[in-house]
Amino acid sequence: GDSVTQMEGPVTLSEEAFLTINCTYTATGYPSLFWYVQYPGEGLQLLLKATKADDKGSNKGFEATYRKETTSFHLEKGSVQVSDSAVYFCALSAPLVFGQGTRLTINP
Amino acid sequence: NAGVMQNPRHLVRRRGQEARLRCSPMKGHSHVYWYRQLPEEGLKFMVYLQKENIIDESGMPKERFSAEFPKEGPSILRIQQVVRGDSAAYFCASSPKGDTQYFGPGTRLTVL
């Protein structure tokens, strides 16, 4: 069946560091790909999405490119902030299949 | 435009009781999904509904769990005779067309 594998956390960085969270997937067909973010005690918020190969999703300085040849959708941000501390989930549709989540902590 | 609403936010039940979780989708959304998140784990799909129809319940446990999305009113996830292993966060998501899903804040169920 379909599956998503994320890099294991937790990940701890200093403010203004470069962020990469790896995500690879296994799926039949051509799924849409998503990154969601979850802040403590809250639900998931859609961060960005891509619906076909080579699409780049972007939002709030985060980016991810749908790479069909490597079945990947890695999340990147050039300069992280303390407010980016959260758990990040990679997912494919639909219904959504989630990775296990990566807990990110940014230190000032 | 209000987001996805879930209530209650926190629910405590004793073993053997029933739990009812409610989800009101965003306005204009006719697709509803339920997911369960166990502590320190990702979300697992449970059931996908449209108005008055269950489309996919492949993630639902075979016993004690049921879901509905009536013509009027919220979607309900019902857990009968709860056990400690049912303790989790239950999230509802809605979608206008079955693609991008928007999540509610979740109901955190604790079974004593």
* C-beta of residue B106 within 8 angstroms of C-beta of residue B91: yes
Range B47-70 average pLDDT? 94
Q: What is the pLDDT of residue B1?
A: 55
Q: What is the pLDDT of residue A80?
A: 97
Chain A residues whose CB is inside 8 A of the B104 CB are: 43
Chain B residues whose CB is inside 8 A of the A36 CB are: 103
What proportion of chain B, given as a percentage, has pLDDT over 90?
82
Question: Closest-CA residue in chain A for B43?
Answer: A98
On the CB side of A91, CA atoms within 13 Å amount to 27
Q: What angle do CA B41, B59, B7 make, to 5 degrees?
A: 70
Q: Write out pLDDT tens, residues B29-38.
A: 999 999 999 8
DSSP chain A: --EEEE--S-EEEETT--EEE-EEEE-SS---EEEEEE-TTS-EEEEEEE-STT-EEEETTEEEE-BTTTTB--EEESS--GGG-EEEEEEETTTTEE---EEEEEE-
Q: Alpha helices of chain B — where are they, by DSSP H? A: none
CA pair distance B94, B104, nearest whole angstrom? 8
Q: What is the pLDDT of residue A63?
A: 98
Q: What is the pLDDT of residue B88?
A: 96
Chain A residues whose CB is inside 8 A of the B42 CB are: 89, 98-101
CB pairs under 8 A between A and B: 52
Contact B35 A96 (CB under 8 A): yes
Q: Write out pLDDT tens, residues A40-90.
A: 888 899 999 999 999 999 999 999 999 999 999 999 999 999 999 999 999
Chain B residues whose CB is inside 8 A of the A42 CB are: 105-106
Chain A: nearest CA to B24, how far in angstroms? 14
Q: Write out pLDDT tens, residues B76-110.
A: 999 999 999 999 999 999 998 867 899 999 999 99
Q: What is the pLDDT of residue B100?
A: 86
Range B37-62 average pLDDT? 91
On the CB side of A46, CA atoms within 13 Å amount to 20
Q: Write out pLDDT tens, residues A21-47.
A: 999 999 988 899 999 999 988 889 999
| Residue that has been written with the tokens 């059931």 in this structure | B47
Query: What one-letter code names the amino acid at A32?
Result: S
Q: What is the pLDDT of residue B39?
A: 80
Assess whether pLDDT exceeds 80 at residue A19. yes
Mapped onto helix, strand or coil, the DSSP state of residue B98 is coil
A residues 67-106 closer than 8 Å to B (CB) = 89, 93-101
Which among A36, A42, A94 has CB closest to B99? A94
Q: What is the pLDDT of residue A1?
A: 84
